[in-house]
Chains A and B, each alone.
Chain A
């Protein structure tokens, strides 16, 4: 599987996990979207840094070719899935009563 396929699969799994695996879905809450709105510019900036300077490079055969601020669109989706999963786990353990405050 190429990067584009893997990242779409990971995105779908992450969304399903959030909506059905966790009791309090983040995707349906303003907390998540407000937090992500703050993170997004930093995500674009750091992705831009890594790709515009060619610190990280990609096999052109494994990406769609669609780029946002120099970074492959796949990187944006990759980051989104990472962010969603990390926040989802954090909220999950919080709901379980692990170190609430």
Chain B
């Protein structure tokens, strides 16, 4: 029974790993991504929504599917598992923190227009 419960978080565990592996940059490198939430949302929402529409389509078509034993079973709209919705929040944040981390190390690589 306990094993069964742990299994339910198999997908979520990967998202927690990604968050832990990248969010420390927010503090250690002072990348200030979370602090710039307006810019995060403007960047993330159009792209993540687009990918979620694709996700909904792919799930409806049966292109991919999830092991019921390894996801929480909580679904958002269009049968999209909440894990997938979190995926499109956590992964972009991790990506932006990496980008800003590299920018901190190499300031002259910055976008000439955003300097």
Residue numbers of A with Cβ under 8 A of B are 2-3, 6, 10, 23-24, 29-32, 34-35, 38-39, 42, 46, 49-50, 53-59, 62, 79, 82-83, 85-87, 89-95, 97-101
Whole-angstrom distance between the Cβ of A12 and the nearest chain B Cβ = 15
Least CB separation from B66: chain A residue? A56
- Residues in A with CB closer than 8 Å to B11 are 50, 55-56
B18-72, CB < 8 A from A: 18, 21, 32, 36, 38-40, 42-44, 46-47, 51, 54, 58, 61-67, 70-71
> Which of B39, B71, B102, B112 is close to A98, meaning CB atoms less than 8 Å apart?
B39
Could you list some 22 contacts between A and B, CB below 8 A? Answer: A2-B63, A3-B58, A31-B103, A35-B95, A39-B94, A39-B98, A53-B10, A55-B11, A55-B14, A56-B64, A56-B65, A58-B64, A62-B63, A86-B43, A87-B96, A89-B46, A90-B43, A90-B96, A90-B99, A92-B43, A94-B114, A95-B111
C-alpha spacing A91/B100, complex, angstroms: 10
Tell me, yes or no, whether B92 is within 8 Å of chain A by CB.
Answer: yes
Tell me, yes or no, whether B113 is within 8 Å of chain A by CB.
Answer: yes
- Residues in B with CB closer than 8 Å to A85 are 47
Check A38–B66 contact: CB distance below 8 A: no
Whole-angstrom distance between the Cβ of A53 and the nearest chain B Cβ = 6
Least CB separation from A62: chain B residue? B63
- Residues in B with CB closer than 8 Å to A93 are 39, 42-43
Least CB separation from B55: chain A residue? A78
- Residues in B with CB closer than 8 Å to A100 are 114
Whole-angstrom distance between the Cβ of A91 and the nearest chain B Cβ = 5
Q: How many A-B residue pairs have CB under 8 A?
A: 124
- Residues in B with CB closer than 8 Å to A99 are 36, 38-39
